Structure 1
Amino acid sequence: MTALEIAVQDAAGAAIALAGGADRVELCAALGVTGGLTPSPGTIAAAVATGIDVHALIRNRPGGFVYSPDEVAVLADDVRRAVDLGATGVVIGALRPDGALDATATAALLDAAGDADVTFHRAFDTVADPVGTLERLADIGVLRVLTSGGAARAGDGIDALAALVAADTGVEIMAGGGVTPDAIGALIAIGVDAVHLSAKTVVADPGVTGPGGGSGGGLEVTDPAIVAAARSYAKR
């Protein structure tokens, strides 16, 4: 059966994903604003305590995925800390300035992860040679890639996703990026190993905005109805 991964930002979201039948969560911070950053140690520990498999996003800043040696050292430390806190996987990605895979940085993060699962995130969607990059990731031991097939939404990248599946490199293909429950059937039909979606909605923020920051007009939370619908489509 195709695995279902829900991107969440807190333990409450992890608990909702678990209750809704998700197989695992990708845990991150600031998802809507930045596309996701490394969650705090406390958030990782609280999400792990819900009982669902937690894969922690390791991304220390917004922006692109070209990292200095000092940044790679910080990312590797965050990988080790996430695993020590009970995360069963980490989600990483590093590129060279020319847009190709940074195999050296990726290998360092893999080494830091030890026996934990490693997913290469949607930095993959910017590489010029997706199949060749997939083969290199297989060679260095990455378990799966999260990809939309290079499109804004995975539902629009079906052909590219199908080509990655057909390449049969041994790396799992997880379709993600703008996925809605009703798009899951078409993704499963091409043979992806997993689907990934945020299942988030925005609720009113009880706080008020001040000169030092504060309420941004709403809070992102995981929607149980979206998780349930996604699980229903994934089981068909």
Structure 2
Amino acid sequence: MKKAQLEIACFNLESAVIAQENGANRVELCANRTAGGTTPDFEFTKIVRDKVTIDLNVMIRPRGGDFVYSDFEFEQMKSEILALKKLQVDGFVFGILNEDGSLNELQNAELVDLAKPLPCTFHRAFDGVKNKFQALESLIEFGFKAVLTSGEETNAVDGVDVLARLVEKANNRIVIMPGGGLRSTNIGLLKAKTKAVFYHSSAVIGMGEIANPEEIKALKAHL
């Protein structure tokens, strides 16, 4: 059985380098941790890309708050994808909803198409979607390669049963990536119950925004 992999959410260059040096398989690069992650700027992404050789996925999110975007914000997301593709990043992370909590099919599909041939992950906007299993089928249809989710709860441990059902339903057609409060102290439980193949953590311990190298090693040890 293939060894499960680890993605580290990074908000600065130091964390990205620490992630690479301590065995992470991929970095999810974001700005603005307090807002839950927004699009990092071009120059910062370029610096990180120059320093990090492991896979680098980039968040495309114009602001914090909800996942319903204006026409202007959607155009901004499109231009960011086109610009960041030039930096040889490895994928994008985004998610767009309608005001009723359903997936915005046209906008999500358009961004996935724009990102090609790079893979796209639908982020934790998924936890706000009404019908998870119907939405999962739609994301597969749009061409998303992964879904980052805590299983409807604020953290992945509380959502473990839903996560397990999503992994089963996905049936290797799309990667279900547990995230949200994921630490070395609970990743073993999540792996045992969900059988997921990719896990997501910031590996930040306590206050601050720098990933903890020992925590990354401990996360990897449980995989």
TM-score range, shorter chain: over 0.9
Give the Cα–Cα distance (whole angstroms) in 1 for the partners of residues 205 and 151 of structure 2.
Answer: 25
Contact 2:4–2:196 under 8 Å retained in 1: yes
Please, which runs of 5 or more residues in structure 2 have no aligned partner? none
Aligned to 1:42: 43
Q: 1:223 aligns with which of 207, 212, 218?
A: 212
Aligned to 2:198: 194
TM-superposed deviation, 1:98: 0.3
TM-superposed deviation, 1:24: 0.2
The question of 1:111 aligning with 2:113 is answered yes
Aligned to 1:177: 180
The secondary structure found in structure 2 opposite 1:222 is coil
The CA deviation string for residues 90-110 of structure 1, in whole angstroms up to 9 with x for no partner, is: 101000010000111101111
Supply the AA of the counterpart residue of 1:223.
N
TM-superposed deviation, 1:141: 0.4
The question of 1:29 aligning with 2:45 is answered no
Give the Cα–Cα distance (whole angstroms) in 1 for the partners of residues 85 and 39 of structure 2.
Answer: 13
Supply the AA of the counterpart residue of 1:231.
K
Contact 1:6–1:24 under 8 Å retained in 2: yes
Return 79-88 or 129-138, whichever deviates more: 79-88
TM-score, length basis structure 2:
0.94
Counting matched residue pairs gives 218
Displacement over 6 Å in runs of 4+? none
Percentage of matched positions with identical amino acids: 38
Give the Cα–Cα distance (whole angstroms) in 2 for the partners of residues 220 and 172 of structure 1.
Answer: 27
Contact 2:177–2:199 under 8 Å retained in 1: yes
TM-superposed deviation, 1:7: 0.4
Supply the AA of the counterpart residue of 1:45.
K
Give the Cα–Cα distance (whole angstroms) in 1 for the partners of residues 190 and 79 of structure 2.
Answer: 35
Aligned to 1:80: 82
Supply the AA of the counterpart residue of 1:38.
T
Contact 2:170–2:176 under 8 Å retained in 1: no
Aligned to 1:210: none
Contact 1:17–1:224 under 8 Å retained in 2: yes
Contact 1:48–1:54 under 8 Å retained in 2: yes
The question of 1:161 aligning with 2:163 is answered yes
Aligned to 2:68: 66
Aligned to 1:2: 4
The secondary structure found in structure 2 opposite 1:182 is coil
Contact 1:16–1:224 under 8 Å retained in 2: yes
Alignment RMSD, CA only? 1.3
TM-superposed deviation, 1:202: 5.8
TM-superposed deviation, 1:120: 0.2
The question of 1:100 aligning with 2:106 is answered no
Contact 1:15–1:52 under 8 Å retained in 2: no
Q: 1:20 aligns with which of 19, 22, 39?
A: 22
Give the Cα–Cα distance (whole angstroms) in 2 for the partners of residues 152 and 224 of structure 1.
Answer: 25
TM-superposed deviation, 1:162: 0.8
The question of 1:142 aligning with 2:111 is answered no
Which of these two proteins has the greater Rg computed from alpha carbons? 1
Contact 1:3–1:194 under 8 Å retained in 2: yes
Aligned to 1:233: 222
TM-superposed deviation, 1:19: 0.8
Supply the AA of the counterpart residue of 2:87.
L
Higher strand share: 1
TM-score, length basis structure 1:
0.89
Supply the AA of the counterpart residue of 2:168.
A
Contact 2:101–2:128 under 8 Å retained in 1: yes
